[in-house]
Amino acid sequence: MEANVMTGRVHSLETFGLVDGPGVRFVVFLQGCAMRCQYCHNPETWAKSCDETTVWTPKDLFDRVYRYHRYWGTNGGLTISGGEPLLQMEFVTEVFRLAKEKKVHTALDTAGQPFSTDPAFLKRLEALMEVTDLVLLDFKEIDSEKHLALTGHPNENILELAHWLSDHGKKMWIRHVLVPGLTDSEEGLTKLDAFLSNLKTIDRVEVLPYHTLGLFKWKKLGIDYPLDGVRTPTAEEVQKAEQLLHIDRYPGYQKA
């Protein structure tokens, strides 16, 4: 491969995703993430590379993705997730540009951590948003100090990103992982609801129940799991969180 050819570091591919955007999705999980979320179910994506990492050009990756377009129907498409896709913005932009040439719906699944108001960063982000139909923005925790303890980073720049996306008319789905005793306090959910109510472009808010399906990966990597023993939330707890966040307020609300 020529040295000047753009490439991206990809962790894995999911050909038939049903939870990362509307319809049936081809989901690309990129390698690399700055945050260290205590409940992360893909800790092997933290480093810039791992045993599963593969290197793709945008064209080769999109060609692989597009093989599956007949399964997407009228409302499916391509989602790029992570790790953190904003760490490879130019690569994602080029893949999405190729997707839009084929009229493929594009969704970006991000936790927002690299966001900066630096003009150079914003210029790159604007280019990406031109070819992005939907942003799935993962809100870990609304309180910045709790966010720092949970992820290793404060959240002020993530809140700025949410306002930036709203101000620029970018459609968003907001996602919040509900962890008993950690991200489920009534005070915190009420504060998050108040913040979200001021954003103009939210289409849907989703409460995702905490699970331990990625625990074996922590053990495989030899990393102590900080939430060992924490249970999954009950259906009633999830429903209460959904009520506190007023998820039925948003146009994309779908009753379970």
Model pLDDT for residues 12-70, shown as the tens digit of each residue? 999 999 999 999 999 999 999 999 998 888 888 888 888 889 999 999 999 999 999 99
101, amino acid identity: E
Q: Are 209 and 176 in contact (CB under 8 A)?
A: no
pLDDT at 256: 62
Number of Cβ within 10 Å of residue 144's Cβ equals: 14
Does 249 fall in a domain?
Answer: no
**Residues β-bridged to residue 9:** 55
Does 116 fall in a domain?
Answer: yes
What is the tally of structural domains in the chain? 1
Q: Are 27 and 108 in contact (CB under 8 A)?
A: no
What span, in angstroms and rounded, lies between the C-alpha atoms of 28 and 14?
6
Does 213 fall in a domain?
Answer: no
Tens digits of residue pLDDT in 121-144: 999 999 999 999 999 999 999 999
The CATH number of the domain holding residue 80 is 3.20.20.70
Does 210 fall in a domain?
Answer: no
Does 142 fall in a domain?
Answer: yes
- What pTM, to 2 d.p., does this model score? 0.94
Range of the domain at 84: 8-175+224-231
Question: For residues 234-256, b (16+ Cβ closer than 10 Å) or e, as one string?
Answer: eeebbebbbebbebeebeeeeee
Residue found by looking up tokens 């331990």 in the block: 212
pLDDT at 2: 56
Does 240 fall in a domain?
Answer: no
Does 212 fall in a domain?
Answer: no
Does 76 fall in a domain?
Answer: yes
Q: What pairing do the DSSP bridges indicate for beta strands 172-178 and 134-138?
A: parallel
Q: Are 10 and 57 in contact (CB under 8 A)?
A: no
Question: CB-based contacts of 117: which residues, under 8 Å, 6+ apart?
Answer: 160
Question: Which has the higher per-residue pLDDT, 41 or 119?
Answer: 119
- Work out the average pLDDT over 174-185: 96
pLDDT at 218: 80
Of the chain, the percentage scoring pLDDT greater than 90 comes to 80
Kindly indicate the confidence band of residue 205, based on its pLDDT and cuts at 50, 70 and 90: very high
What strands, in cross-sheet order, belong to the sheet with 134-138? 54-56, 8-17, 25-30, 77-81, 105-110, 134-138, 172-178, 202-209
User: Strand, helix or coil at 112?
Assistant: coil
